Amino acid sequence: MEDERGLRRKVSAKDSGEERRDMETPIRFRNRRGEALFGMVFLPQGRISEKRVGIVMSVNAIKYRIGAFRFHVLLARKLCLLGYCVMYFDPAGIGDSEGDFEYKLLIEHYQDIQTGKYDEDIRDAVDFFIQEYQVETVVLFGLCGGAISMLMAASSDPRIEHLILLGIPVLLEYEGGIVKKADPSAKITSVEKAHSTFAYFLAQIRRPDTWRKLLRLDIDFRENLRLVLRANMVLVRKFFERLVRKVNPEQIDLRKEPVSRHPRFNLQFQRAFLEYVSRKNHILFVFGELDFTTWIFKSEFLDTALRPGNPYVPYYEVHILEKANHIFSSTDSQVLLQKTIIEWLAKQCPGTGRPGDMAT
């Protein structure tokens, strides 16, 4: 059978608004366990970025490599036209790749990913990318489970100089190794989320349907009470935390203590972040305004570990995109996300084109 690296396919002229270009190559490589992993490499047809920058994209948790709403494909083509080499692939057990996908609860798969399930496959992919395509500067890109996977892989790999992390989770799916019944109140961690919870209940009170359900006893009073109490507790706690910061403005030392008191806070995230930025490498964090993950990140990490004047300011940027959800599903969100990524890359590791032209 012909080697996959030798195969080519044309890009549809309608997919992203560009002309047809012979720049996409199906690939197959083996991980350290001997399993065949499949993916795609996008190689510029014109002048490649000066330092031959390669961008590796991770799957979103357990989803196929092309990304939600084919965002990975569309972004890879734009980046390729700017002179970047781009690669995405399916880790073992996902999509077209070999390997077993264990029979267990979905929440358990998410927990595994948040604690390093894809680390080895990502490093093997980087090995392949560098060796086969002579990439000199490596950027890792991921959304949600892909974001935490890329951060953890990069923390122990000195070859990774830049990270683009979208909607990264900082809370584990469950604590103590025990899967429990989902607790919606656990996601209320920020002032913003607490306010939106109260706003939701106030809006419900004004609806006649709510009172009809109340008379029929169709409302879960216990669950609703738990949400309201949790929101109130968060507002009180955040108020006193602000007072404490005014009295004691010292920065939290990430090396000595957890930055969050939440029982499901992912300490591996904190350690990976610290190890990565300690090498003076750069991170772009991007979130959607309508994503609860955004406000958990803000309350449990940004507002505590990354206060103004913290020692890591030169190495990260945080962007919250208006009216965007967790997967940036709307066309406007995707356009704004592409623009944000391309402009950041132009500052960190410039391509060969003009970012403004490709971001529209």
> Which pTM value belongs to this model?
0.85
Q: Are 149 and 266 in contact (CB under 8 A)?
A: no
How many domains would you assign to the chain?
A: 2
pLDDT digits (tens, 9 = 90+) for 205-248: 888 887 777 777 777 777 778 888 888 888 888 777 777 666 66
* Domain end among 219, 247, 275: 247
Distances (CA, A) of 129 to 52, 150, 185: 11, 15, 43
For the purposes of burial, counting CB atoms within 10 Å of the CB of 274, is it exposed (0-12), middle (13-18) or buried (19 or more)?
Answer: middle
Statement to judge: residues 124 and 271 lie in one domain: yes
Average pLDDT, integer, range 166-172:
96
- Integer angstrom CA distances of residue 288 from 95, 270, 279, 285, 324: 26, 21, 28, 10, 4
Same domain, 111 and 224: no
Indicate the residue among 229, 247, 265 that finishes a domain: 247
Q: What is the arithmetic mean of pLDDT over 135-150?
A: 95
User: Which residue reads 């206060």 in tokens?
Assistant: 307
Specify the residue for token string 């006649």. 208
Of the residues 203, 228, 247, the one at which a domain ends:
247
Contact 24, 40 (CB under 8 A): yes
Indicate if 78 and 170 belong to the same structural domain: yes
Say if residue 319's pLDDT is above 70.
yes
pLDDT of residue 199: 83
What residue spans of 206-280 are helical by DSSP H? Answer: 208-215, 221-247, 267-277
Domain containing residue 325? 4-176+254-358
172 and 314 co-located in one domain: yes
φ/ψ (deg, to 5) at 26: -65, 140
Same domain, 338 and 299: yes
Phi and psi of 339, rounded to 5°?
Answer: -60, -45
User: Does residue 241 sit in helix, strand or coil?
Assistant: helix
DSSP three-state, residue 62: coil
Cα(100)–Cα(321) distance, integer angstroms: 37
